[in-house]
Amino acid sequence: MTDNFPDTPEVKTTPKSLDKDKCIIDGEEYPLVIGQIVKLISRGDQPRIAVLADPGHGKTFLLGRLGEILHDELDIMQGEFKPGEQMTQDPETWVNNCRTHAQRVEIVPDADSVFPSDEYYTPKNKANRKVIYLTRLTGNVLAYDAHELAKTDKAIRTNHNIRLVSEGPADNYTFKAEYIQRENDSLQENIIKKSKGLWKVDKPSPETVARIEELDTSEKARELEEAEEKIREEKMDEIEQLANNLG
C-alpha cells in the first residue's frame, strides 16, 4: 500500500493457479504478470511496460486490456479507461497527458516509431526520458509497444521493468511475460529476468479496438508519407549531383 494507492487489492496464488500462470485478485483469476504489476503499484514502484511483437500479433490489444483491467475491473487507477485519451502516438500529447494526469495508464503504440533509438538527442526523446524519471511521483503506469526493443529510445530500453514478448502465430495473441530487475549501478547489464508465465490476451472492448484501428491507420499513412518524402529528397540529391557533374 502507498499514499497514491491506499486500497490496492492483495495478490494471491495457489498451486492450481500457478499451474495455469494465473494469480487471484479480488476472487478473480488474472495473468501472473497482472499480479506483478499490481504488486509494483502497491509497494510504490512504477510499472514501466514494454510489449514486443511483429505487426498483427496483438501487442496494442494487450495494452488496451491492461488499461481496462487496471481502471475498470480492479479499480486501481483513477476513473474509467479512456482509450481515445490514454493511447496516443503524438509525443506532445503523451508528455501533456503524463504531466497533467495522475494515476492513469498511459500508452504509446509503435514506440520504436514515435521514440526511435536513432533520434536520441531530439526534444521528443529527451521529453520522454523526463516523463520516465518524473512520473513515478504521480503514480502513472507507462506502457509502450514496439516491433523491436533495440529500435526504441535508450530510456525505454533501460528503464522498463515488465517485458512481454509474443509467442506463436499472430492469431494466438499470446505473450511471454517477465519481470525485469536491474542492479542499482547497471541499467543494461546484470539484469535478472523473472518469468511471469504466459498471457493469452482476450479482445478489448469495441471502443478500445476502434481507437487501436484508428491509430494503426494513421501511423501507416504517416510512414508512407515519410517514405515518399525520402524518395523525393533522394531524387533531388541525384539531380543536384548530376547538375554539378555536368557543370
What mean pLDDT value characterizes the chain?
89
Residue partners of 126: CB distance under 8 A and separation at least 6 = none
152 DSSP assignment: B
**Band (72; pLDDT cuts 50, 70, 90):** very high
Mean pLDDT of all residues in 174-186: 84
Long-range pairs, 74-79, Cβ under 8 A, ≥24: 74/9, 74/25, 74/26, 74/38, 76/5, 76/8, 76/9, 76/38, 76/41, 77/103, 77/104, 77/105, 77/141, 78/102, 78/103, 78/104, 79/104
Q: Which three cell numbers stand for residue 81?
A: 479507461
Comparison of pLDDT for 75 and 182, the residue scoring more: 75
Q: What are phi and psi of 29, to 5 degrees?
A: -85, 135
Reading the block at residue 203, the C-alpha cell is: 479482445
Alpha helices (H) along the chain = 15-19, 32-42, 59-68, 83-86, 91-100, 111-114, 123-134, 154-159, 206-246
Residue with cell 471502443: 207
pLDDT at position 77 over 50: yes
What backbone torsions phi and psi does residue 177 show, to the nearest 5 degrees? -110, 140
Task: Name the residue among 174, 178, 150 with its Cα closest to residue 162.
Answer: 178
What is the distance between the alpha carbons of residues 75 and 70, in angstroms, rounded to a whole number? 6
Question: pLDDT higher for 228 or 138?
Answer: 138
- For the segment 102-108, the average pLDDT, to the nearest whole number, is 97
Q: How many CB atoms lie within 10 A of CB 108?
A: 29
Residue 9 near residue 26 (C-beta atoms within 8 A): yes
Confidence of residue 220 (pLDDT cuts 50, 70, 90): low
Look at residue 190 and tell me whether its pLDDT is greater than 80: no
pTM for the structure as a whole: 0.85
Task: Provide, rounded to the nearest whole percent, the portion of the chain with pLDDT above 70.
Answer: 89
Quick check: 7 pLDDT over 70? yes
What whole-number distance in Å separates Cα of residue 8 and Cα of residue 39? 8
Residue-range domain boundaries for the chain: 11-204
Q: Which CATH class is domain 11-204?
A: alpha beta
Q: For the CA atoms of 195, 197, 203, 207, what is the dihedral angle to 10 degrees?
A: -30
pLDDT score at 187: 53
